[in-house]
Amino acid sequence: MNAASTFSALAEPNRYQIVELLRQRPLPVGQIADRLRLQQPQVSKHLRVLSDAGLVEMRPVAQQRIYALRHEPLKEIDEWLERYRRLWEERMDRLEAVVDELKRKERKK
Q: Give contact residues for another protein (rule: CB under 8 A).
A: 3-4, 7-8, 10-11, 13, 16, 19-20, 23, 69, 71, 74-75, 77-78, 80-81, 83-85, 87-92, 94-100, 102-103, 106
Measured from the CB atom, the residue of 7 and 30 that comes closer to another protein is 7
Measured from the CB atom, the residue of 63 and 88 that comes closer to another protein is 88
Q: Compute the least distance from the CB of residue 90 to another protein, in Å.
A: 6
Angstrom distances, CA of residue 57 to CA of 17, 37, 86: 16, 22, 32
How many angstroms separate the CA atoms of 108 and 46, rounded?
63
Strands (E), the chain: 27-28, 56-61, 64-69
